[in-house]
Structures are given as structure tokens and as C-alpha cells.
Amino acid sequence: MNTAVKETPPSTNQSVRFVIGVRILDQVKSALYNPGDLKLKVGKTVMVNTDQGLKMGVIASNKLPNFRQDSTFNRVLRLANDNDIQAENRRLQVEEKAKTLSSNKIAELKLPMNLSRVVHQPHMNKTIFFFTAEGRVDFRQLIRDLASNLRHRIEMRQVGVRDEAKVIGGYGVCGETLCCSTWLPDFTPVTIKMAKNQGLALNPSKISGVCGRLMCCLQYEHDNYKVLIKNLPRVNSQIQTPDGPGRTLKNEILEQRVVVLLEDESVMTYHLDELPKPQKSQNPQKP
């Protein structure tokens, strides 16, 4: 009697005990990959599958326990060999040639756009040109010129300044690497009201990031500031103090203190607990 033999099912994420961090060579952030049975060390160069095809990367972290059992992880294919390194060098040469050619053509055609980076995808015989611009750009002639010189498919992709800063990376005014290029998962709206609520000087050079937009970090403590300013009086509003009536000059939000100009022209600082509870006419500051 023949007994049916059951095939062993392919490995799934539930059987992946450990994952490793791999940083693709042209990216700042690392991503998690399934190392499989490979014995890998930090600093080793490997080949991995990505959404953009086969990529070379560097092992950025040791094995980490897989707590995300419901997530999928691409597999590390192999350690990079000489052929992989040669292919990577050829890709970089194509990108450098394409970037130089495109920059010259943009200047020649006087197009209102800024070329930021070029990515060549050998597996698709295509080069993607990323650029920023204030509005729509007619780049049809540019595409024709690039295609005739490079002899492969051309794609122009317009991106926002924040997205571009995320890819390029850099350092903020705090001296740390940009949040968007290291750990910030998504962009969320940042408004000038957040800066006002935190009592910051509304100087564009002080509250703008390298992308020219409001700094993402303005939102980190916004909820706390909304609570802290809830009972503080508005600046320039009339309030009562233990030394008589006065006008609010400034709020020291974190210290919960109020700087007041009294009627005798003297300036006093009071903790919020020292002041009478605000009346409706005193216009407490709204978050």
C-alpha cells in the first residue's frame, strides 16, 4: 500500500526567528531582511531583492528577534561577489553620465526645474530622474534628448522638497541627522500655529528645516504645549496680579510663569499659581 508523502511547506514569516538590518548603498535608512541560513556579519556586503529590483547593501545590524510575525521580509540572496561589484560600478557610471547630461540639457533648455538625483534600474533598462519644481514643467524635449543619448527608457519624477530632503539626508540646526532621513516614518502636517503655541520667534531661518519648510520637530511636543498654555493669559491682555493690574508681556510656557508690566511701569514675573484664576474678560490663551 502506497503511503502519500506530504511536501514540506515553504518557510513563512512565522518560522523566521531572527531578522537583520540591511542598508542599501544609496539609502540612509536600513530595512529588515530575512537572513535565511546565511552566516552574516555587520559590515558585509550582500545582494537583496527590493521593490526596485536587485540591490547591493551592507549589513547594518546583527540578528534581531522577529517580533513582527505578521510582516513579510525579503530574503538576503547572497554575499556580494566580484560580478555584483562590477555591475554596481557600471550602474554608478551610468547614473553619473545621466546626471551630467541631464543637468546640461536642463540649463540649455532653460527649464524651471532642479535635478536632485538620478537612479538607474538595469533590470528594467530604465533611468529615473528625480526633480523639484514650483509647478508643472514641459520636459518633453528633455526626455527626447536624454533617450537619444542614453539609449534606454527615461522617466521624469517630480517630488516635494520634503521627500527629497528625506532621500538626500543632511544635518539640522540641532546638529543631528535629519529626522526624516533616519527614523521619521511619515510626514504629518506642520503649521505655523505650532510655533506660536511654543512661544518661538517666527523667524523663517529659525523654524525652517533644510528643505525650506517648517521643521518636523515642531509637532513633537505640540500636544504638551497645548496643555501648558491652556490657562496662561494671552500676550498683551490685562490681568490682575498680587501687586495690582498689569499687562502681559510674555509667557514662559515651560516654567508656567507670566511676565507682567504693572501700572507703575515696573516689570514683574509671576508663577501661574500666584495669579488669580483667569476671568473670561482676561482672555486666557487658547491652544
Rounded Cα gap, residues 102 and 149, in angstroms: 10
Per-residue pLDDT at 141: 94
Rounded Cα gap, residues 29 and 6, in angstroms: 42
User: Cα 259 vs. chain centroid, distance in angstroms?
Assistant: 37
Burial class (CB in 10 A: 0-12, 13-18, 19+), 167: middle
Alpha-carbon dihedral angle through residues 14, 17, 23, 24, given to the nearest 10 degrees: -40
- DSSP classification of residue 62: -
**Residues, the chain, total?**
287
Rounded Cα gap, residues 168 and 117, in angstroms: 8
pTM over 0.75: no
Report the sign of the C-alpha dihedral through residues 122, 124, 129, 132, in that order.
negative
Rounded Cα gap, residues 165 and 168, in angstroms: 5
Query: What parts of the chain have a pLDDT lower than 70?
Result: 1-15, 69-70, 278-287
Phi, psi for 200 (deg, rounded to 5): -85, 150
User: Which residues are within 8 A (CB) of 255 and not within 5 positions of it... i.e. 6 or more apart?
Assistant: 271
**CB-CB contact of 216 with 190 (8 Å):** yes
Phi, psi for 239 (deg, rounded to 5): -135, 165
Provide DSSP, 257-283: EEEEEETTS-EEEEEGGGSPPPPGGG-
Which residue's entry shows cell 533644510?
Answer: 210
Per-residue pLDDT at 12: 42
Burial class (CB in 10 A: 0-12, 13-18, 19+), 188: exposed
Per-residue pLDDT at 6: 39
Position 172: which residue type?
G
Per-residue pLDDT at 188: 87
Per-residue pLDDT at 70: 66
The pairing of beta strand 153-158 with beta strand 126-132: parallel
